[in-house]
Chain A
Amino acid sequence: MTEHRTSLSRRQFIAAGAALTAGAIAAPHVSRAQEAATLRITGWGGKWGQVMGAEVVPAFEKEFKCKVVTDTALPFLPKLQASPRSAPIYDVLHTNSNEQWAAVEMGLVEPKIDAKLVPNIADVYPYAVSDKIVGVSIFTSAIGLGMRTDKDYPTPTSWKDLWDARYNGVRGGYVIPVNSLGQAFVPLCGMLYGKGPTDLDAAYAALEKIKPIKLVDFTGAMEKMLLSGEVGMCVLHDSGVNRYYDDKPPTAFVAPKEGVLSLEQVLTITPGSKVKELANAYVNYMLSPDVQKKMAQAVWYSPSNKTVKLDEPYASRLLTTPEKVASLIQVDWKWYNAHKDAIDTRVNRIFRG
């Protein structure tokens, strides 16, 4: 009797233990299934993050009855790479075009957004969905020349003016291996001084001649150097000057006659996302005229949606007409990424001295 009771008790104990273990393992999944759908996205910090967190994301959550979790802690790509393809850490990847191309090469994001599921794509400028873009570009900045207006420098008209010897000691650029603007500058050098953007020999020769140049790794550092007068002429994105519009510092942005490089803000969807419908809805929402206008005027990015009407001074300073948009030079990041290691090695050698 005792033995029987002991045996039964042991079985009961094992069964209860197994049930408890299974329950403990399943509990997060069960509770997650009962929660509202969660959309996991990446996003920028700074002013972008403030406006998104305070207004744009809460409105999306309310409209679609979901929860949006935004990761603003870089680096996004290694984290996405480290997570299983079937259960990616993000549903929507928001980053610059060069990283999106690296992501699509690794199969981490879908190459294109389905226009049938994202109706607002019908209203974007062609550059936003061109063959140089993975996914869809929701905003772009124009990369041109930033200059001090209080130093009696002549207003530049061409990118080639950056090579003028008068700027020796006050010329600014970026550490090419780690900065998107610096990387975009390499094919531009090939365009300016060689047969085209893929003429690397011409680009390297031009980079040799641009020395001495002050290089920074963080994009935001260049505008501060321009404000402090540490550089007088530099490669800069238009928002790096426009955001100080109210303070009226002695700085200006110049769009060279050859065109401005585009620095696109791109959204893609991960193939393994479990909330693709919501992910598409988010992309569509970010392309909607209201959100486009709000964000463009908050951070001085040019909207991709051509139906958006910006207020002044945004309308006149950003790329808001087909003519202005036509001045954008899009970098072939697929080609660039394929040559990145060789370019990094060579430019490190050029600028080491």
Chain B
Amino acid sequence: MLSLKVGRFLYLAVNWAVLAFLLLPILIIFVFALNPTPYIEFPPVGVTLKWFDKFFASPQFMSALLLSLEVAALTTIAATVLGASAALGIARGNVPGSRLITAIMLSPLMLPAILTGLALFQTYVLMDVGRPLWGLVVGHCLVTVPYVVRTTLAVLHNFDLRLEEAARNLGASPQRTFFEVTLPLIKPGVIAGGIFAFIVSFDQFPVSLFLVSPGQETLPITLFNYLKYDLDGTIGAASVVSILLAALVVIGLDRTVGLRSYVKL
């Protein structure tokens, strides 16, 4: 009985330690964002919203934030469609060399993303297309599609094919079977992959480093350039806004599609 209590105590202690390890950096960012001094100071000397004012009043930061949201939204749509389709093709298509194709689909995750960005940059330069917005979205898709493929394949792995066969036997067309049987069943994997795609794209730095065009920079790139010259609480405020936006997306999806039912992923 005593050993059970000790074990439970240790279990809880480890969990709290992991939580603290994950959340402390975020807490420091909040302190930096709310502290009046233009540097990190412990203990904080007061509370101010002036860094948030500066962030929201800056046309540079606002255009960067809007561009990041636009790119993340476009990337999420494209990566979700492409990744889910690819996963279906790999799992169902009886494609020769499907393992090799899976490895290729996941390979962008194994490459340093900065090399992916540099390679795409060189390709665009050779194509003489400059650094267009679609080029940035393509770059982000390269590093986000693997997440959608992986999560969708995980669901497809446990998929009961007899459900589709039953629908077809009962007269459903292939399209109707897909939309009314297959898609609802693989939705957890597709949505989880889409969330990953949004967050990875919104925070993407190494790929964007080479692909943003002059005057059109995403928020992570703007933050990086800003902190090279002006390291103050605006960086903290921008980080807080980023964290809250990412949390809002997850909460919003939870409320609309019920993420909690998919936690088994």
A positions within 8 Å CB-CB of B:
28, 40, 44-49, 69-75, 78-79, 82-84, 87, 89, 218-221, 224-225, 227-228, 230
- A40–B130 Cα distance when bound, in Å, is 12
- A83–B131 Cα distance when bound, in Å, is 12
- The verdict on B179 contacting chain A, using a C-beta distance below 8 Å, is no
CB within 8 Å for A45 and B125 given contacts A73-B212, A78-B118: no
- CB pair B214–A71 under 8 Å, yes or no, is yes
- A105–B165 Cα distance when bound, in Å, is 67
Select one of B39, B129, B209, B217 contacting A228, CB under 8 A. Answer: B39
- CB pair A82–B121 under 8 Å, yes or no, is yes
**Neighbouring B residues of A218 by C-beta, 8 Å:** 227-228, 231
Within 8 A of A (CB), among B203-222: 209-210, 212, 214-215, 217, 221
CB within 8 Å for A73 and B228 given contacts A78-B118, A79-B121: no
- CB pair A225–B210 under 8 Å, yes or no, is no
**Neighbouring B residues of A83 by C-beta, 8 Å:** 125
- Least Cβ distance of B65 to chain A in Å? 16
Which residue of A has the minimal Cβ distance to B119?
Answer: A82
- CB pair B118–A225 under 8 Å, yes or no, is no
- A162–B214 Cα distance when bound, in Å, is 41
- The verdict on B226 contacting chain A, using a C-beta distance below 8 Å, is yes
- CB pair B125–A73 under 8 Å, yes or no, is no
**Neighbouring A residues of B229 by C-beta, 8 Å:** 44-49, 220
Name 7 A/B residue pairs within 8 A (Cβ), A-sorted.
A28-B129, A69-B214, A73-B214, A79-B210, A82-B121, A82-B125, A218-B227
CB within 8 Å for A82 and B39 given contacts A28-B128, A45-B228, A71-B214: no
- A49–B128 Cα distance when bound, in Å, is 27
**Neighbouring A residues of B227 by C-beta, 8 Å:** 218, 220
CB within 8 Å for A46 and B226 given contacts A83-B125, A224-B231: yes
- CB pair A74–B122 under 8 Å, yes or no, is no
CB within 8 Å for A220 and B228 given contacts A73-B212, A83-B125, A228-B41: yes
- CB pair B217–A73 under 8 Å, yes or no, is yes
- The verdict on B38 contacting chain A, using a C-beta distance below 8 Å, is yes
Which residue of B has the minimal Cβ distance to A28?
Answer: B128
Q: Which 3 A-B pairs have the closest CB atoms?
A: A46-B229, A224-B39, A71-B214
- A82–B225 Cα distance when bound, in Å, is 21
Interface string of B21-49 (1 = CB under 8 A from A): 00000000000000001111100000000
- CB pair B128–A228 under 8 Å, yes or no, is no
Which residue of A has the minimal Cβ distance to B210?
Answer: A79
- The verdict on B230 contacting chain A, using a C-beta distance below 8 Å, is yes
- A230–B231 Cα distance when bound, in Å, is 15
**Neighbouring B residues of A228 by C-beta, 8 Å:** 37, 39-41
CB within 8 Å for A220 and B230 given contacts A82-B118, A82-B121, A228-B40: yes
- A79–B40 Cα distance when bound, in Å, is 33
**Neighbouring A residues of B217 by C-beta, 8 Å:** 72-73
Which residue of B has the minimal Cβ distance to A299?
Answer: B229
- A113–B38 Cα distance when bound, in Å, is 40
- Least Cβ distance of B233 to chain A in Å? 11
Which residue of B has the minimal Cβ distance to A226?
Answer: B39
- Least Cβ distance of A95 to chain B in Å? 12
Given contacts A72-B217, A73-B217, A84-B125, 16 further A-B contacts (CB under 8 A): A47-B230, A74-B224, A74-B228, A78-B118, A79-B121, A82-B122, A82-B125, A83-B125, A218-B228, A219-B228, A220-B227, A220-B229, A221-B231, A224-B231, A225-B39, A228-B39
Which residue of A has the minimal Cβ distance to B114?
Answer: A78
- A182–B131 Cα distance when bound, in Å, is 33
- Least Cβ distance of A313 to chain B in Å? 21
- A141–B212 Cα distance when bound, in Å, is 29
- CB pair A72–B231 under 8 Å, yes or no, is no
Select one of A69, A219, A224, A225 contacting B215, CB under 8 A. Answer: A69
- Least Cβ distance of B64 to chain A in Å? 11
- CB pair A75–B209 under 8 Å, yes or no, is yes
- A43–B215 Cα distance when bound, in Å, is 11
- A219–B221 Cα distance when bound, in Å, is 17
**Neighbouring B residues of A79 by C-beta, 8 Å:** 121, 210
- A96–B225 Cα distance when bound, in Å, is 16
- A72–B212 Cα distance when bound, in Å, is 10
- CB pair A78–B231 under 8 Å, yes or no, is no
Select one of B38, B126, B214, B230 contacting A46, CB under 8 A. Answer: B230
- CB pair A74–B225 under 8 Å, yes or no, is yes
- A74–B209 Cα distance when bound, in Å, is 7
Within 8 A of A (CB), among B103-132: 118, 121-122, 125-126, 128-129
